[in-house]
Structure formats: structure tokens, C-alpha cells
Structure 1
Amino acid sequence: MRNIKRIFVVILAIYMIFSLAGCEYIMESESKAVTNENLEVHFIDVGQADSILIKKGNESMLIDAGNNADGDLVVNYLQKQNINKLKYVIGTHPHEDHIGGLDDVIDNFEIEKVIMPNAIATTKTFEDVLDSISKKSLSITKPKVGNSYDLNGAEFIILAPNGENYSSLNDYSVVVKLINGNNSFLFTGDAEELSEKEILTNNKRLLKSDVLKVGHHGSVTSTSQDFLDAVDPSAAVISSETGNSYGHPHKEILERLTKKGVDMYRTDSQGTIIMESDGKTINFNDKELFTYDASPKPQVIISELDKVGEIVTIKNDSSEDINLEGWRLLSVTGNQEYIFPDYALKGNATATITSGERQGDLIWGSENIWNNSKSDPAVLYDKDGNEVFRFDD
């Protein structure tokens, strides 16, 4: 009888343990289910760099923090968003334009978890970040593909890096997919084509996303066609700076996105981009879509108009020779027109069209054309009558 009682007590105890565990699981699931605050994604304008704030209710995370000079900008931006704690901070890879401001962020906010790849840079920028992590007695969590993390009911999953020995630091980039209900975002850091191929091999089924943060500031090293097709985004965001020395975003990527019908947003031309997700739809701040005309067009411009000297200088900005036969140059105020003969303007070369007593590469005529005291714009048309360039003096 005693043995029967003991067995009964053990069974009862086991039952209670599993019941309590079940209750805890249900409570956790219900807690996540009732977290109905909208998710916000802020693509902060940090010039030729990356910094992305994600917040949902009272929980927030930051992916990268711009260049060293952007530290105060990012800190001030977060403070204006009433943030004093970051649940996660991700430094995608140890390039200055991604982790430059991370030390300032770590110094000024309470941080719960820092995620950085197993990549080392012998730079003061990288050392500054490590020092700030050490001063806060934080540890670095290495990204493991497949690991997922909760952000107040939203979830992000690590998709890369898939290796540990890359020749380019860019391929160490931590790539994450963020899911909020039926909405999804893919953040790619500077991951290049090699990393993209590895993700396609290992986690292609997870790539489909509503919004793509275009890799490497729109460089041709990233956003391969196969990768873009697998993500199949409705919208894309490019973080870059006007007039940057890299030529980002590259026209090949703009054409690729345009041909796929992806709505484009750019921090270089539109400033900070903010998206808000309720789990069903994604709304954007009052930024108009960036449109890119992928159709080929002549690269001839009017580089200078000397009205006193009666000299118009045109330049071929492309590397290809362009035959100007049938093109027209118009003096708007005087309503006088010059029609180009058979003349090949060499790639990256200039040519002068002169009038009056001047002698140039091409001669308009012996009479003065340009009104020296009044405004007189010069307009260049191609042989089909399309306006190619207008020079407003």
C-alpha cells in the first residue's frame, strides 16, 4: 500500500510540474500575442554609413551606428525617441562606417545584449567599441545562424554569417530577418555576393521579405539578381551619401531594383526613412518614392557658357563616342539655333561651339549669338528632339 502511495505522489508531482510548465508556456504565448504596439523601423540618415533603429513599445534595438563622427547624431536621435535602454545592439561588421558610433551608444544607454561577428579589425574604432563594452561589463554574443530573438512580440532571426574565414570583412556582416506579424524586413549590412550565395544555399526559404535594406550602400558587390529574386521585396532602402566617392548606389543596382518593380527609398536624397508596421501593413513617413529612369540616355552636357566670349563648351561624360549629327543647340532668348554636322564627340572629351570672331571646334557663324546683358539659357537637343541638357545662366 505504501508503494502505491509513493507511486501516486510521484505521478502527481510529475503532473503538477508539467501542468505548471504548460501554464507558463501559455502565459508567455499570450503575453506575446497581446503585444500589439506598432513596430517602427528608422533608417537614420548618417551619410555614407548605416544606422537602423527598431522599436516596438518599450523595447528597442539598434543595428550599426554610423561613422565615428556620427556618434553624437545617433545618440541624440535615440534620445529624441525617448529611448534610454536598448535590448539589442548589433554591430554588423567592424568597418568604421558601421561601428564608428557604437562606443558612444554603449556609453550613453543601458544595453542588454551586444551581437557582433567573430571578426577583428586592427583599428582604433574597433578598439574603442571593445573598450566601451568592457567598461559596461558587457559580453559579445556571436551570431549563430538560426538563432532567434524576441523584441516585444516581434522576432528577428540570424541568417548570416555562415562562415568564419572570409577575405572581405563585409562578408562577416550579421544579416537578420525581422518579422512582425505578417510583415518582414531584411537587414543585410554590407554582405557581398559570397555571403548572399551562402544564405541562398542554407536559408533561401527565409529570405522572402517585404522590405530589403540594400547591401553595401547599393554597391554592385551586393544584391545579386538571384538574391534579390529570393527576397522579392516590395520596397528597398539604400543608405548612402550624396556625391560619395564610391559612386553609391551604383546604376546597375538601381536598374535591377527598377526592373523588378521595387519601390526605392534613399537616405542620400530623402533623409531619414521611417516605416511603421502593425503586423498587417507597412506605412512610410512622408517621403516620396525615389524613381530611377533605367532607359539609356546621352551623356552630353553643356559644361560652360561664355556669353561675352561667344563660346559654348559641351562635354561627353560617357566613355563611348557620340555622333552629334542632327543635334541642335538653341539660344532661348535670341531664338537662334545651331544644327550639328557629322561630328563625333569622343568619350570623356569636350568640344567648343563658337560664334562671332571666335574660332572653336565647331563654328556657329560670324554673327554674335548670345545676349550679354540679359539671361539667355542654352538648351541642347538630340537628333530626336529630346531635351538633353539645359544651361540656365
Structure 2
Amino acid sequence: MSVLLQTPSQNVLFDTGTPAAAEMALLPNLRALGIGKLDALILSHHDDDHDGGYPALAKALKIKKLWAGQPEHYPQARAQHCADGTRWQSGGTVFEFLTPPPAANAKDNEKSCVLRVIANGRAILITGDLGVAGERAIMAKYGSALYSNVLVLGHHGSKTSTAEAFLDTVEPETAIAANGFANAFRHPHPEVVARLEARQIELLRTDHDGAAVLVFGADGIGRVAHPRKWWQRKPL
């Protein structure tokens, strides 16, 4: 998983994907967009499909600020924790961390950064691999203030995330399942897909549709279509 968030003056990246994905897909796309530096890189947690591409990015790009759900894994970079309540603004766009404090002995997934970005009165919510326990924690604190037009499904659409109560609280119009073509876990899970269908929430899947490009404009959320798509085939 990797999400690029662009404002007129900043480039913020949430996660990097695996080392291979970073080298073969992420970095070429960033170069094609003319991006030579990142104002902020957010590594949701220490898992290969979320922060595995960090070494390659650190070599190729200047990274101004590094945030992480588990900053202890990047001591030389002086990463800062994506603590709940941290926020900054780029023009009219607001970035805010809603990261719940992990329970004692919590696994890596439950330490994921949670980021909400608001632009032109519309919001996107990204929760890394946060599971249902973490979802309950942020619902208890923020309630209906979690409302977001776009939700990047937790844990790639695994059934361990995206509980019905969470969907009813966030009330997204569009959900994005960030997962690889022919992924071994067969994400998104059918139960999650059914929850979305029951609520008439549009589902975009990177394994079927390729990268999703959304523009948060004054008149709504627009789409940029890709004329062609490529998938890396895996050996069976």
C-alpha cells in the first residue's frame, strides 16, 4: 500500500509498499510526476508491505519529515510518532493524526498511524492495518467526527478490519482496497465487500483497477482515469 497526497505546495506519502513495489512502481511514478523530495513520509507500521520500500525511497529522495507508528525502527532518521492530535496545514488542506494509543502487548497492526486529510470540505481517512479494536478506540473518541467521503480500507480489506459499526460511523461514499494483483490473501475479503455493497459504498480495487487518482475540488471529488494499466505477474 502507498498513498500520495498532494497539495499545491506539499507532497506527503503514506506508506511505501514492499521493496520490490517501491523500486518497480512507486519510485518510477514519483519520478514521472517530477517529485524529487517529500515534505512528509508516514510509515504506518513496521510491516514489509507498508514500510519495506523505505530504504529505497530514502536513497532516492530527500525526505523532510518522517512520521511512524513504530518510530523505534528508524532511529537514524529520527522518526517522530504519529501521535493522536498532531496536525498541520498546507494551504487550505488539513492533515491530522487520529492514531489510537495501542493496548499493552499490541501487535504491529494495532500500532498503525491513522491519518485524516480534509480539503475543500471533503475528507479521506487512512488507517494502515488497524484492526477492529483500534477502530473501536477511535470511534469512542471521535464518533461522528470521523466522517470521511473516502476510506482506504484497513488491512487491505481484511475481515479483521472495517467493522460494520466503523463503516456506519465514517459513512464513506467511496472505499479503496489497496492490494496486489492475485494477492495470496485474496483481499478484499468477501464479508467486507458485502458490508460495502449493503451500504451502497463504491469500492475501488487496486488489484482490478490499478491506481486510484482522486481530486478533491471545490465542486466535489473528481477522477483521473488511466488509459492503460499494468500488473506484475507473480510466479505460481
TM over 0.5: yes
User: Does structure 2 conserve the Cα–Cα contact (< 8 Å) formed by 1:179 and 1:185?
Assistant: yes
Does residue 1:116 correspond to 2:57, yes or no? no
Which of 59, 63, 86 is matched with 2:14 structurally?
63
Relative to structure 1, is the Cα distance of residues 196 and 166 closer, same or farther in structure 2, using a 3 angstrom cutoff? farther
Distance in 2 separating the partners of 1:154 and 1:100 = 28
> Offset at 1:166?
4.2
Moved over 4 A (4+): none
Quick one: distance in 2 between partners of 1:163 and 1:238? 24
User: 1:162 and 2:101 equivalent?
Assistant: yes
The number of residue pairs the alignment matches comes to: 225
2:67·2:82 contact (CA, 8 Å) conserved in 1? yes
Alignment of 1:1-393 (within 5 A): 50-72=1-23, 73-118=25-70, 130=74, 134=76, 138-163=77-102, 165-286=104-225
- 1:205: Cα distance to partner? 3.2
CA RMSD after TM alignment: 1.6
Instruction: Give the structure-2-normalised TM-score.
Output: 0.90
- 2-side partners of 1:69 and 1:166: how far apart? 30
Structure 1 residue 181 displacement after superposition? 2.1
Q: Is the 8 A contact 2:157 2:187 kept in 1?
A: yes
CA distance in 1, matches of 2:115, 2:219: 20
C-alpha distance after superposition, 1:69-115 (max 9, x if no partner): 12222111111111112111000000000001111112211211100
| Alpha-carbon displacement from aligned partner over 1:155-207 (angstroms, at most 9, x marks no partner) | 11111132363432111010111000211000111100010010011122321
Partner Cα separation in structure 2 for residue 81 and residue 105 of structure 1:
15
- Structure 1 unaligned residues grouped into runs of 5+: 1-49, 121-125, 288-393
Contact 1:276 1:282 in 2 (8 A): yes
Give SS of 1:160's match: coil
Deviations 1:355-377 (CA, angstroms, capped at 9, x unpaired): xxxxxxxxxxxxxxxxxxxxxxx
Whole-angstrom distance in 2 between the partners of 1:274 and 1:98: 19
Identical counterparts, % of pairs: 28
Structure 1 pair 280/165, CA: closer, same or farther in 2 (3 Å)?
Answer: farther
Alignment gaps of 5+ in structure 2: 227-236
Quick one: structure 1 residues 116 and 182, their matched pair in 2 at CA, closer, same or farther if it must change by over 3 Å? same
**Could you state the TM-score of these two structures normalised by the residue count of structure 1?**
0.55
Q: Which has the higher strand share?
A: 1
- Aligned to 1:249, what secondary structure does the other structure show? coil
* 1:229 Cα deviation after fit: 0.5
Cα deviation, residue 209, structure 1: 0.3
Q: Secondary structure at the match of 1:162?
A: coil
